[in-house]
Structure 1
């Protein structure tokens, strides 16, 4: 009798009840949606991103109807997109966009040309890092806009001053970050290259640089966003063209919809450049594409 009771109790413990099944299924769904280190397919990422943007636009529309501020000072999304259309079709805003993009591309290309060799050497050789890191690390904390009066006196009001300001805003951060990427090269690769008879130049180029190149591209993608944040600052001082100059002209006449249209334009351009960097990353390093998807 005791054995039969024990057997029944064991069966009840083994056979799941509906409540246990429901709890297990709920936990499984929770783990599925919020598991660590998941990779999402492209379609799911697109759907989630669209939901995020639609939520943002909905909140913007709702708050614009809540009388938090006059319509002229807080326009609805439709008004801003209408203003954006008028800027491109009637006010030659496309030339301003081209001017801003040109300044960003030139300044960031110069920053890469300066930062990549210095970052490679700092990340590879401790003495180079000991010499330059204290100096460049300190320059990172100096705000680039503080140099605007000096740049105006030294370089005038032309594009050279604006490109220099954009360059100063990112180059010191970029050097330190690229050096950090270089340091992540596994020591076993360097020791193996030494064992095979590789000299400093060969190890620097074929091991350290090539192993770090994917990280360099990803770091440049992140730092390009910082360059866009300095664009308006560079173009609000004595500028006749560019997105920032258009926004300053709109400020004089309290055209908030034009100002917000300029902000939207910068955001869209930044997103397009980010997508371009991602495409370059996947094209050049297809063996790493799945890890980042």
Structure 2
């Protein structure tokens, strides 16, 4: 009877508020699978730039090297202003942008059909993959002597060099994107009577198009890395040509201003591709934010 009485007494007593005794678990600052709002991403990105500029400023003011050889950020920004205001640097920037745009457009025009065919048909992949895979390991600057003899010192030589620097990588990467098309989509299209051409345009291209745009965004960065190499040989205009002129007079601030310009232009082009991705494929917005 005593045990039964104790049980009844326990039932009648109020249950303590457990939630009050348990502290709310705080979310960790770093965690897997986090989704950040654009304001948070912008703030964190600006913080990274501030840390970089602060480190640059401190390194330039601790006498690691002479000021002429390692200028501070404010000196480089002043030189960049002078270049645009007095040295007609704007025309050099436009020349470089034009070379990048033309060369990369030609590379996409060559790589996209080949990548689609290689990713769709095993026999074409077996024919071209060993050849193009080997060409990827050839350094683009090694072609400079040949291009100078074949094409001269004009824009054709520079645009071709920029194109060679990315086209072989681009073909292989676009082929990899094409291979990711689910086989069920292909088989369903065949069952419905679709021809090879119809399947290529209505299934393969549409399914792979977001991946193609993202791959082009990544490879455009590689194209910018070859810009100075393409413009240091017999060039009268362009960012690389300006940097070579500055090298003759040991104007390190102008050289670093050119490097900053290339970085800013690359960031603008990358942002443009990201916006294009989000506008054209809004249903993949979450995937775009994570990348």
Same fold (TM over 0.5): yes
**CA shift for structure 1 position 157:** 0.5
1:53 aligns with 2:49: yes
* Corresponding residue number in structure 1 for 2:68: 72
1:230 aligns with 2:223: no
* Corresponding residue number in structure 2 for 1:200: 196
Distance 2:205 2:109 in 1: 14
* Corresponding residue number in structure 2 for 1:274: 270
**CA shift for structure 1 position 279:** 1.1
Distance 1:194 1:125 in 2: 15
Distance 2:93 2:83 in 1: 11
**CA shift for structure 1 position 194:** 1.1
Shifted more, 38-47 versus 167-176: the winner is 38-47
Distance 2:81 2:107 in 1: 34
* Corresponding residue number in structure 2 for 1:100: 96
> 1:1-293, aligned counterparts within 5 Å?
15=18, 21=23, 25=25, 28-30=26-28, 33-293=29-289
Displaced runs of 4 or more, over 4 A: 1-4, 14-18
**CA shift for structure 1 position 29:** 2.4
RMSD over aligned CA atoms reads 2.0
Distance 1:123 1:270 in 2: 29
Distance 2:239 2:174 in 1: 30
Structure 1 unaligned blocks of 5 or more = 8-13
3-state secondary structure, aligned to 2:205? helix
Structure 2 unaligned blocks of 5 or more = 11-16
* Corresponding residue number in structure 2 for 1:10: none
* Corresponding residue number in structure 2 for 1:11: none
* Corresponding residue number in structure 1 for 2:14: none
**CA shift for structure 1 position 35:** 2.1
Distance 1:60 1:290 in 2: 35
**CA shift for structure 1 position 241:** 0.4
Distance 2:283 2:19 in 1: 44
Distance 1:56 1:2 in 2: 71
**CA shift for structure 1 position 48:** 0.7
Distance 1:197 1:107 in 2: 39
Distance 1:280 1:121 in 2: 25
Calculate the TM-score normalised by the size of structure 1: 0.91
Structure 1 pair 93–128 and aligned structure 2 pair: CA distance change class (3 A): same
Structure 1 pair 135–195 and aligned structure 2 pair: CA distance change class (3 A): same
Calculate the TM-score normalised by the size of structure 2: 0.92
**CA shift for structure 1 position 240:** 0.6
Cα shift readout 1:91-140 (whole Å, capped 9, x = no counterpart): 00000000000000000000000000000000000000000000000000
3-state secondary structure, aligned to 2:27? helix
Distance 2:157 2:252 in 1: 28
Distance 1:76 1:2 in 2: 83
Distance 1:187 1:51 in 2: 44
**CA shift for structure 1 position 36:** 1.5
Alignment: residue pair count: 281
Q: Is the 8 A contact 2:148 2:157 kept in 1?
A: yes
